[in-house]
Amino acid sequence: MAQRSLERLADDHYVLQVRGSSVSSTVPYGALCVLLNEVDAAHVQHPLLVLRGLTQLLHTRAQGRPVVLFVDNAHDLDELSNMLIAQLSASGHVRLLAACSELPGSEGDIMGSWKDDLLHRVDLVPLDFNEANAALSYAFEGTFTNSAARALWNASGGNVLFLLTLAKEQIKQGILVRRAGNWVMGARPIAFTGAVKDILKARMNRLPAGQRDVFELLSLAGSVPLRSLMKVSRSEDVDVLQESSVINVSRDFPPMIRLLTQ
């Protein structure tokens, strides 16, 4: 959705994209280092000078056009990048579009901008089966059999980024194959390898200890009665994971809880 929106703005706006990551989050201005390479070295000694130098750079590049800054993985920004991007937005130098997968756990100045009503929040709910099937068919230019689409949808929990990454990895591994123009699952089960494994590992590493314990327990057990889980976990950890669409509580009796990405 973000990319589609940016494509529509590209003709009469200067669109700039930066990305947070678990690696760059450990480096001051890590998400902005490519831009700062073009800023006078004397400007990177103090945050105010960095802001001034980066503002001049953006205006020079934009040549009079409005600047749109898209920040992907905003939850993985280092503190200084987070602060600088929020200041660029608050001062009107850029129009900010920030994508974040885990808003409840996000902190910093961008999160503060939303709390101060300077940013508008749009929540994306997980795709239902029909939406997931349509997204797969569009992304991979072919019809998915019902069983293949449902297997990918169940495994991804309806998370569109994870769904498409998962499908791409299955094609790479030869688990998902094209036959007569249709994508079908082979005999092997879905493999959580490669990029999929990296996504899961990075997401788990970002979780606080209590939430990570719940994640690991459900990864091993598959599903657990909600009442049993609450005996060994804090309700706050379970609530945050549910709000983040990491876990799901079934409507069965007794209620069962499972990972949406299992």
For the chain, what are the domain ranges?
2-115, 129-194, 207-259
| Residue keyed to tokens 């709910």 | 125
Q: Is the pTM of this model over 0.75?
A: no
Mean pLDDT, range 126-153, rounded to an integer = 93
Q: What is the pLDDT of residue 162?
A: 84
Q: What is the pLDDT of residue 183?
A: 94
Mean pLDDT, range 158-183, rounded to an integer = 89
The CATH architecture to which 207-259 belongs is: Orthogonal Bundle (1.10)
Domain 2-115 has CATH 3.40.50.300: yes
Q: Which residues contact 234 (CB under 8 A, 6 or more apart)?
A: 210
Q: Is pLDDT of 100 > 60?
A: yes
- Per residue in 215-225, is it b (16+ CB within 10 Å) or e — as a string? bebbeeeebbe
Q: Is pLDDT of 242 > 90?
A: no
Q: What is the pLDDT of residue 181?
A: 84
Give the relative orientation of helices 146-156 and 160-173 as an angle to the nearest 10 degrees. Answer: 120
Q: Is pLDDT of 26 > 90?
A: no
Q: What is the pLDDT of residue 113?
A: 83
Listing DSSP states for 41-85 in one string gives GGGGGSHHHHHHHHHHHHHHHHTTSPEEEEEESGGG--HHHHHHH
Q: What is the pLDDT of residue 93?
A: 93
Mean pLDDT, range 210-238, rounded to an integer = 86
Q: Which residues contact 170 (CB under 8 A, 6 or more apart)?
A: 152, 176, 185, 190, 191
Q: Which residues contact 134 (CB under 8 A, 6 or more apart)?
A: none
Confidence of residue 126 (pLDDT cuts 50, 70, 90): confident
Confidence of residue 104 (pLDDT cuts 50, 70, 90): very low
Confidence of residue 55 (pLDDT cuts 50, 70, 90): very high
In one letter, which amino acid is 211?
A: Q
Q: What is the pLDDT of residue 262?
A: 43
- In this structure, what is the dihedral angle of CA atoms 67, 68, 72, 73, given to the nearest 10 degrees? 80
Q: 96 and 85 in contact (C-beta within 8 Å)? A: yes
Q: 170 and 176 in contact (C-beta within 8 Å)? A: yes
